[in-house]
Amino acid sequence: MNRLSIIGLSLMIILLASPLSQGVAQDVRADRRYDAVTWMQASAEYHLLTKQIYRGATAQLLVALDDPHWSADEIQAVEGGFQKKLPAIILDVDETVLDNSAYNARNVRDQKYFTLEAWNAWCEERRALAIPGAVEFIHRAEALGVKVFFITDREDNVKQATIENLQKIGVQASEENVLTKNPQLDDKISRRAIVSQNHRVLLLVGDSMSDLCSGMGTREWEQRQKIASEKMELFGPRWVMLPNPVYGGWQRALPTDNNGLRVD
């Protein structure tokens, strides 16, 4: 038996002896994403927290409606001239209105990570559920005469699927109020400018700082903290943040060694 044959036989023995080849299920709890995904899906705390956040957002919406000089859009607030515009709110979609934890749970189960192809396939399924409290908040805003817009980093090729998924959970969604990503409108700030042309933006709602302001794409942890500190006064009154421990821009800025752990 030659050397290549010996190597091939050895590899076959290893594969046949592996747990996967014998149909033995892997312990998904060893995946560091497991706790984050199951917390979103199963914990009472997460469901109570998102409902609490949306109740607070409703209270702030009432305040904003009564103050014609109120705008949650930083550019609009500086430029002025928005006082007589129609009121609107802007929400992110994923993990703000639509719950994609099933997609993330599949990745944990199958030991896979995010790919755009798999993500778009999930979007096309139109099976995302509603984040607790989101639909009620949106309905309340609409009842108050506030226009609801969705600005998402989902791409144009899944726009129709996104619209239909939003409709499926009971939200009014259309080509007009769902603004997806494309090469001409790649960032959320440029799409927000479209909304602010004719509307006074009362609230911004998202699960990531990049849903609310620019500059959060940095990989520098200290820089992200600096921007967050500078924007602190906008949180609660004008900007509403939901928790997302599964993914986000924060991951790119995480420390890469044990020195990132604070132990005292």
What single string gives the DSSP state of each residue in 48-95? HHHHHHHHHHHHHHHHHHH-TT--S-HHHHHH---TTSEEEEEE--BT
pLDDT band (50, 70, 90) for residue 264 = confident
Fold of the 26-249 domain:
Rossmann fold (3.40.50)
Q: Return the DSSP state at 131.
A: P
Nearest to 179, CA basis, from 58, 114, 90: 90
3-state secondary structure of 240: strand
In angstroms, the first-to-last Cα distance of the chain is 60
Whether residue 258 is predicted with pLDDT greater than 60 in this model: the reply is yes
Say whether pLDDT at 69 is over 70: yes
Q: For 235, which DSSP code?
A: B
pLDDT band, residue 24 (cuts 50/70/90): very low
Q: Which residues lie below 8 Å from residue 132, measured CB to CB, with a gap of 6+?
A: 46, 47, 50, 51, 54
Domain-wise residue ranges, the chain: 26-249
Question: In the predicted model, is pLDDT for residue 57 greater than 70?
Answer: yes
Task: Determine the average pLDDT of the residues in 19-31.
Answer: 64
Query: Among all chains, which residue has been given the structure tokens 């005469």?
Result: 145
Using pLDDT thresholds of 50, 70 and 90, give the confidence band for residue 19: very low
pLDDT above 70 covers a percentage of the chain that reads 88
Model confidence over 183-218: pLDDT tens digits?
A: 999 899 999 999 999 999 999 999 988 888 776 666
Whether the CB-CB separation of 79 and 201 falls below 8 Å is answered with: no
pLDDT score for 8: 41
- Tell me how far apart the alpha carbons of residues 257 and 264 are, in angstroms, rounded to a whole number: 17
Which pLDDT does position 216 carry in this prediction?
66
**Phi, psi (degrees; rounded to nearest 5) at 102:** -65, -40
Q: Which residue has the higher pLDDT, 62 or 220?
A: 62
**What pLDDT is stored for residue 249 in this prediction?**
79
For the chain, what is the mean pLDDT?
Answer: 88
Segment of 5-19, 160-174, 241-255 carrying the highest mean pLDDT = 160-174
Amino acid at 96: T
- Token pair, residue 194, equals 């479209």
25 pLDDT band (50/70/90 cuts)?
low
